[in-house]
């Protein structure tokens, strides 16, 4: 039996898809990249913006037609956020759909697929009871050096525009020991870099670790184990978790995402500074530079607080790279509000910004406001910020020329071997690509196979937003 699995959305979704892939592989299913060859088509979906949902509907339409005309026995399933959000509506709307599997039901995907292949029936699984998620099976291949690990699930923040708390439920942190064991297992398999995932990793808390069902809705109690920063006054369990993972042999780099400015503590900043394996990269979603919009968004920080936080981070970790998410066109956003964002981006100089146009999500607080910024204005603001960010990134990248950096080599850079580097390449050389600690990619040439190795590179050039360098001893 062959499965085709398509994934939309964030890293958490990609991670969940790896879990699905592992569960199904264990039962003997094979995976195919060609959906026309598949007996089971699964799509792991994202609801964060309307556009993401529209793309899923268009794929489903195509697969549904194929099923009706050519292959009636094929099983089609929709999993993840859209499944959780829409539930029964999906089965009503799409007669060819067999499975609706919500975010908390993914650990049982193998059971659902097995049952549906036997019966050809229809099934909806959108229970919101928390269940443990198994670790994906990482088979260390030469190009598999990095792995994600969810340290928590769900979100309690209710940013006014965001559907995530509705589709992924309340925030629940996984037990420290469970995470440690999973990372140790990854290290044993040859993984060198782990990325800790959560909607708001800074609020990771060991107090939530025991019985997830019991703790739903409970807050305020502190665990006996806590971490104090150098001033001795801030307890931060995320920093403690970083410390524990830093101690695991075999792991060389630790990354984490996503950070919420309201919960980013000194202890975490100090952990980035002091723990040798924790990479100097922080993704800190800004969303807007206007206090009025931040308040309407329910972000719980001001422009000034964000500026101060950036100062603090840079003071402690001078070589840090800071990336962000920004939204344009939130309801009531005036030209002045937008310029507050624009000027803040100009002042802060992020290494990269992911910029989105506001999209109304039914069921959120912001959906009660009129989506009053026109599409044309949203596009103008988006383009203006994109071109500002491009100039900033170029300038920041150029500052790296001449710097010696550590690269974790991921793969052959075939694109560049064929195009940009070829004039200088002799037949024994290839281009390789990997990330430096602050998350930027560097391409370089070598006559040795360096995949999986940490190598030293001197950066020599920036071309079309990419870094190039030479290997140094
Ligand atoms: N419209 C546009 N962008 C959104 N994001 C979240 N919800 C919406 C929405 N309704 C963006 C935010 C978030 C990122 C993952 O997606 O910037 O940080
Ligand atoms: Fe959505 Fe805000 Fe939670 Fe991020 S922190 S997932 S933007 S509600």
Give residue-wise pLDDT tens across range 366-414: 999 999 999 999 999 999 999 999 999 999 999 999 999 999 998 887 7
User: What atom of ligand 2 comes closest to residue 287's alpha carbon?
Assistant: 7
Residue 225 pLDDT level (bands cut at 50, 70, 90):
very low
Ligand 1 centroid vs 326 CA: distance in angstroms?
8
This prediction's pTM: 0.90
Q: In terms of Cα–Cα distance, which of 245, 282, 267 is closest to 438?
A: 282
3-state helix, strand, coil in the chain (%, to 5): 40, 20, 40
Q: Kindly tell me if the per-residue pLDDT of 165 is higher than 80.
A: yes
C-alpha 332/C-alpha 399 separation (Å) is 38
Ligand 1 centroid vs 350 CA: distance in angstroms?
18
Q: Kindly tell me if the per-residue pLDDT of 79 is higher than 90.
A: yes
pLDDT digits (tens, 9 = 90+) for 241-268: 999 999 999 999 999 999 999 989 888 9
> What mean pLDDT comes out for the span 17-36?
95
Query: Which ligand is nearest to the Cα of residue 357, counting in written order?
Result: 1
Ligand 2 centroid vs 207 CA: distance in angstroms?
21
Query: Which ligand is nearest to the Cα of residue 359, counting in written order?
Result: 1
CB-based contacts of 235-239 (< 8 A; 24+ apart in sequence): 235/267, 236/202, 236/265, 236/267, 236/268, 237/173, 237/204, 237/205, 237/206, 237/207, 238/201, 238/202, 238/203, 238/204, 238/205, 238/265, 238/267, 238/268, 238/271, 239/265, 239/267, 239/268, 239/270, 239/271
Return the C-alpha torsion angle 421, 424, 428, 431, nearest 10.
-20
Query: Which ligand is nearest to the Cα of residue 155, counting in written order?
Result: 2
Ligand 2 centroid vs 155 CA: distance in angstroms?
6
Ligand 1 centroid vs 426 CA: distance in angstroms?
46
C-alpha 201/C-alpha 263 separation (Å) is 9
Give the per-residue pLDDT at 426.
54
Query: Which ligand is nearest to the Cα of residue 164, counting in written order?
Result: 2
Pocket test for ligand 2, best of 150, 155, 169 (most atoms within 8 A of CB): 155
Ligand 1 centroid vs 367 CA: distance in angstroms?
13
Query: Which ligand is nearest to the Cα of residue 366, counting in written order?
Result: 1
Q: In terms of Cα–Cα distance, which of 75, 7, 15 is closest to 45?
A: 7
Q: In terms of Cα–Cα distance, which of 317, 159, 142, 177 is closest to 248?
A: 177
Ligand 2 centroid vs 162 CA: distance in angstroms?
6
Q: How far is CA 100 from the centre of its chain?
A: 23
User: What atom of ligand 1 comes closest to residue 359's alpha carbon?
Assistant: 1
Look at the block and give the residue holding tokens 């037990």.
175
Query: Which ligand is nearest to the Cα of residue 259, counting in written order?
Result: 2
Q: Where is pLDDT greater, at 231 or 167?
A: 167
Q: Please give all residues whose beta carbon lies within 6 A of any atom in ligand 2, as ranges.
A: 155, 157-159, 162, 164-165, 199-200, 260
Give the per-residue pLDDT at 115.
97
Give the per-residue pLDDT at 109.
97
Q: In terms of Cα–Cα distance, which of 242, 277, 284 is closest to 263?
A: 284
Pocket test for ligand 2, best of 162, 259, 260, 354 (most atoms within 8 A of CB): 162
C-alpha 14/C-alpha 139 separation (Å) is 16
Close Cβ partners of 354 (under 8 Å, ≥ 6 residues apart): 323, 324, 325, 326
Ligand 1 centroid vs 345 CA: distance in angstroms?
17
Close Cβ partners of 141 (under 8 Å, ≥ 6 residues apart): none
> What mean pLDDT comes out for the span 349-360?
97
How far CA 13 is from CA of 111, 170, 199, in Å, comes to 20, 17, 11
Nearest CA to ligand 1 atom 7: 162
Ligand 1 centroid vs 93 CA: distance in angstroms?
26
Pocket test for ligand 1, best of 325, 350, 362, 371 (most atoms within 8 A of CB): 325
Q: Please give all residues whose beta carbon lies within 6 A of any atom in ligand 1, as ranges.
A: 48-49, 161-162, 285, 287, 325, 327, 356, 358-359, 361
Residue 417 pLDDT level (bands cut at 50, 70, 90):
low
Q: Please give the angle made by the CA atoms of 277, 279 and 284, to the nearest 5 degrees.
A: 140
Ligand 1 centroid vs 283 CA: distance in angstroms?
14
Residue 178 pLDDT level (bands cut at 50, 70, 90):
confident
Give the per-residue pLDDT at 34.
96
Nearest CA to ligand 1 atom 12: 325
Nearest CA to ligand 1 atom 5: 48
Asked if 287 contacts 297 with a C-beta cutoff of 8 angstroms, the reply is yes
Look at the block and give the residue holding tokens 């064929």.
418
Nearest CA to ligand 2 atom 2: 159
């Amino acid at each position: 039996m062959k499965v085709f699995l398509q994934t939309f959305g964030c890293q958490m979704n990609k991670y969940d898809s790896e879990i699905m892939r592992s569960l199904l592989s264990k039962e003997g299913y094979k995976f195919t990249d060609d959906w026309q060859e598949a007996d089971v088509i699964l799509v792991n979906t994202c609801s964060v913006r309307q556009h993401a949902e529209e793309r899923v509907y268009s794929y489903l339409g195509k697969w549904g037609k194929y099923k009706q005309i050519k292959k009636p026995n094929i099983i089609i399933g929709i999993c993840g956020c859209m499944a959780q959000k829409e539930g029964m509506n999906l089965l009503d709307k799409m007669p060819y759909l067999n499975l609706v599997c919500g975010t908390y039901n993914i650990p049982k995907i193998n059971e659902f697929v097995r049952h549906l292949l036997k019966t050809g029936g229809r099934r909806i699984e959108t229970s919101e009871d928390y269940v443990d998620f198994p670790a994906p099976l990482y088979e260390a291949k030469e190009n598999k050096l990095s792995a994600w690990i969810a340290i928590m699930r769900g979100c309690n923040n209710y940013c006014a525009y965001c559907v995530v708390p509705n589709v992924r439920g309340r925030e629940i942190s996984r037990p420290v020991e469970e995470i440690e064991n999973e990372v140790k297992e990854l290290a044993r398999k040859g993984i060198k870099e782990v990325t800790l995932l959560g909607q708001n990793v800074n609020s990771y808390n060991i107090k939530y670790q025991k019985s997830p069902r019991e703790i739903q809705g409970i807050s305020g109690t502190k665990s006996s184990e806590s971490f104090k920063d150098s001033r001795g006054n801030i307890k931060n369990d995320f920093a403690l978790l970083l410390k524990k993972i830093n101690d695991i042999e075999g792991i060389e780099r630790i990354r984490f995402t996503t950070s919420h400015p309201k919960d980013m503590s000194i202890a975490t900043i100090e952990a980035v500074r002091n723990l040798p394996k924790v990479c100097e990269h922080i993704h800190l979603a800004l969303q807007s530079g206007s206090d009025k919009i931040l308040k309407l968004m329910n972000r719980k920080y001001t422009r000034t607080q964000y500026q101060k936080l950036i100062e603090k981070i840079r003071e402690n970790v001078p070589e840090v790279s800071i990336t962000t998410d920004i939204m344009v066109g939130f309801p009531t956003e005036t030209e002045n509000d937008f310029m507050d964002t624009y000027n803040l981006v100009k002042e802060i100089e992020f290494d990269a910004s992911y910029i989105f146009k506001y999209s109304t999500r039914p069921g959120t607080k912001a959906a009660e406001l009129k989506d009053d910024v026109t599409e044309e204005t949203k596009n103008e603001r988006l383009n203006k910020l994109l071109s500002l960010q491009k100039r900033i990134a170029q300038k920041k990248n150029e500052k790296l020329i001449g710097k010696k950096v550590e690269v974790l080599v991921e793969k052959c850079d075939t694109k560049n071997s064929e195009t940009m580097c070829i004039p200088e390449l002799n037949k024994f050389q290839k281009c390789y690509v990997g990330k430096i600690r602050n998350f930027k990619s560097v391409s370089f040439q070598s006559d040795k196979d360096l995949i999986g190795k940490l190598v030293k590179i001197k950066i020599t050039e920036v071309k079309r937003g990419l870094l190039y360098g030479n290997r140094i001893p």
